[in-house]
Amino acid sequence: MAMNIHVDIVSAQEEIFSGTAEVVVVPLVTGEVGIYPRHTPLLAPIKSGEVRLRNGDDEQFFYVSGGILEVQPHVVTVLADTAIRAGDLDEAQAVAAKERAEKIMANKKTEVDYAKAQAELAEAMAQLSTIAKIRKRGKT
Amino acid sequence: MASGKEIRTQIKSIKNTQKITRAMEMVAASKMRKAQERMRAARPYAEKIRNVIAHLRLSHPEYKHPFMIERETKRVGFIVISSDRGLCGGLNTNVLKLALNEIKTWSDKGADIDICTFGSKSLGFFKRLGSNIVSELSGLGDTPQADDLIGSVKIMLDAYDEGRLDRLFLVYNSFVNTMTQKPEIEQLLPLAGEEDEQLKHYWDYIYEPDAKDVLNDLMTRYIENQVYHGIVENQASEQSSRMVAMKSASDNAGKLIDELTLRYNKARQAAITQEISEIVAGAAAV
């Protein structure tokens, strides 16, 4: 039997997932990492993207916009800033946010606004790519 | 003895008050349920991040974060959470009293005090007192968002980072149950770390990309979450305390109305008796 690792995904507002998986793939600021059981302790910031949990052939996706990852040998904790079940993502909202951000980028006024818009845009793109991936696999 | 009409107007005004308090009671009851749900929903994150911090304390980090180092206390910061509105029993008074006691002990030791307030009640209180308020946030509404508090908390954290603050406390009402709320004080910074000597082995995390940034990120999130948690708990406390206060106000109004009705009836009866006896006496005279 394959070894499993316990995974908790929580955001400040609610608990999103608690259960086990064989592999957890998390988008870190430095790149995507896959975590198997008995991983050495790790502490790292997460960038916006999708967290994937794999159990055999079954895969689950969660969208996170940022946060912190803690790994202990048998427990993975994802402290997400906002995490929504990937299937629930509102595509229209993501597109609107992207357009809004692009509009702000187009006529940027201050450095701060620009940075904010860029962050918003990155987030919307990540949401959209998650949606697209889910569509392709044909399971929402 | 008050005349019939006077008592009647009094009864009417008390009835009106009772209507208001009863409506407030019901509103508070439904808001309380939602606030408690929010509190429960926020718990897992708070627990998890507390776990991570506890792990971190047990590890031997290559980099000692300033938040973990004790310093001589010259200036103390307080984050005081209160409600925005009144009519919620002794909730705000209790939390402000606790804050004030703690502030007094520190200023007796010669420390200066900086205050950050959440909620207009504590803002008003410390303004009247003439304390040094460095940041303030009120009107959070019924659904506080974690990112609303970032600014206010950052001011305190930056002050700590730059050495303008040496200690940071959080004062809020913790929710025990619907009937009891306990004002509580918590030290946020420096992180109260007990050096555990009997650790089994020597270990540390891998930090990606480097320890300083990661710890900074984590600590900021931890403190923000603690404050958010305090606010959510305070809100649940506020609503339940208001519900209880309004319930007892409605009950008291009911009691008053009963008493006054009795008195009104007695006065009416006395007036009738008097009238009859006057008529009888008049008839007898004729």
Domain A5-87 has CATH 3.20.20.70: no
Boundaries of CATH 2.60.15.10 in chain A? 5-87
The H or E element spanning position A11 is strand A5-11
Boundaries of CATH 1.20.5 in chain A? 89-137
- With beta carbons under 8 A apart, name residues in chain A contacting B52: 43, 68, 70, 77, 79
Asked if the model's pLDDT at residue B170 lies above 50, the reply is: yes
Residue with tokens 């949606």, as numbered in its chain: A131
Burial of B222 (0-12, 13-18, 19+ CB in 10 A): buried
Exposure of A122 in the CB half-sphere (CA atoms within 13 A): 13
Please give the residue of chain A at the shortest CA–CA distance from B232.
A13
Q: Which residues of B83-105 are buried (b: 16+ CB within 10 A; e: fewer)?
A: bbeeebbebbebbbebbbebbee
Asked if the model's pLDDT at residue B199 lies above 90, the reply is: no
- Angstrom distances, CA of residue B101 to CA of A35, B105, B191: 49, 6, 22
Please give the residue of chain B at the shortest CA–CA distance from A43.
B207
Predicted confidence at residue B34, as pLDDT, reads 93
Catalytic site includes residue B88:
yes
Mark yes or no for CB contact B214/A45 under 8 Å: yes
Query: In the 8-state DSSP scheme, what is residue A107?
Result: T
**B119 closest CA partner among B105, B107, B106, B133:** B133
Look at strands A23-28 and A31-35 and give their pairing.
antiparallel
For residue A71, report the phi and psi dihedrals to the nearest 5 degrees: -120, 125
Asked if the model's pLDDT at residue B192 lies above 70, the reply is: no
Among the partner residues A30, A33, A43, nearest to B205 by beta-carbon distance = A43
Mark yes or no for CB contact B208/A14 under 8 Å: no
Distance of residue A113 Cα from the nearest chain B Cα, in angstroms: 16
CA A134 to chain centre: 14
B56 has a chain A CB within 8 A of its CB: yes
Predicted confidence at residue A140, as pLDDT, reads 43
Q: pLDDT, tens digit, for every residue of B138-150?
A: 888 888 877 778 7
Tokens standing for residue A86: 């990937």
Q: What is the mean pLDDT of chain A?
A: 80
Q: pLDDT, tens digit, for every residue of A14-25?
A: 888 899 999 999
B19 has a chain A CB within 8 A of its CB: no
Distance of residue A120 Cα from the nearest chain B Cα, in angstroms: 14
Predicted confidence at residue A102, as pLDDT, reads 73
Please give the residue of chain A at the shortest CA–CA distance from B53.
A70
Tokens standing for residue B240: 């339940």
B222 has a chain A CB within 8 A of its CB: no
Mark yes or no for CB contact B49/A28 under 8 Å: no
- Angstrom distances, CA of residue B215 to CA of A32, B19, B65, B251: 20, 54, 7, 53
Contacts 24+ apart (CB under 8 A), A23-29: A23/A52, A23/A53, A23/A54, A24/A51, A24/A52, A24/A53, A24/A54, A24/A76, A25/A51, A25/A52, A25/A53, A25/A54, A26/A51, A26/A69, A26/A76, A26/A78, A27/A51, A27/A64, A28/A69, A28/B208, A29/B208, A29/B209
The H or E element spanning position B64 is none
Among the partner residues B41, B208, B228, nearest to A42 by beta-carbon distance = B208
Fold of A89-137: 1.20.5
Please say whether the beta carbons of B32 and B178 come within 8 A: yes
Task: Round to whole Å and give the CA distance between B67 and A90.
Answer: 39
Please give the residue of chain A at the shortest CA–CA distance from B39.
A13
For residue A40, report the phi and psi dihedrals to the nearest 5 degrees: -70, 150
Q: pLDDT, tens digit, for every residue of B239-278?
A: 999 999 999 999 999 999 999 999 999 999 999 999 999 9
For residue B133, report the phi and psi dihedrals to the nearest 5 degrees: -90, 120
B225 has a chain A CB within 8 A of its CB: yes
Q: Which of B88, B98, B219, B243 is catalytic?
A: B88
| Partner residues linked to B189 by β-bridges | B168
Residue of B38, B48, B215, B233 best to disrupt the A interface, most CBs of A under 10 A: B48
B49 has a chain A CB within 8 A of its CB: yes
Q: pLDDT, tens digit, for every residue of A37-95?
A: 988 889 999 988 889 999 888 888 888 888 899 998 888 999 987 655 565 666 666 67
Tokens standing for residue A47: 């960038």
In angstroms, how far apart are the furthest CA atoms of chain A?
Answer: 58
- With beta carbons under 8 A apart, name residues in chain A contacting B205: 41-43
Among the partner residues A13, A40, A43, nearest to B42 by beta-carbon distance = A13
Task: Round to whole Å and give the CA distance between A49 and A47.
Answer: 6
Tell me the ipTM for this assembly: 0.71
Reduced to 3 states (helix: H, G, I; strand: E, B; else coil), residue B8 is: helix
Burial of A22 (0-12, 13-18, 19+ CB in 10 A): middle
Residue with tokens 């504590």, as numbered in its chain: B122
Mark yes or no for CB contact A15/B207 under 8 Å: no
Residue of B208, B221, B232 best to disrupt the A interface, most CBs of A under 10 A: B208
- With beta carbons under 8 A apart, name residues in chain A contacting B218: 43, 68
Residue with tokens 């950052």, as numbered in its chain: B154
Please give the residue of chain A at the shortest CA–CA distance from B46.
A12
Window 250-269 of B: residues touching A by CB (8 A cutoff) are none
Task: Round to whole Å and give the CA distance between B263 and B269.
Answer: 10
Please say whether the beta carbons of A80 and A67 come within 8 A: yes
Q: Which of A112-121, B10-19, B89-98, B183-192 has the highest mean pLDDT?
A: B10-19
Q: DSSP of B82-147, one letter per residue?
A: --SS--BTBHHHHHHHHHHHHHHHHHHTT-EEEEEEESHHHHHHHHHHT--EEEEE----SS--GG
Task: Round to whole Å and give the CA distance between A29 and A31.
Answer: 6
| Partner residues linked to A44 by β-bridges | A69
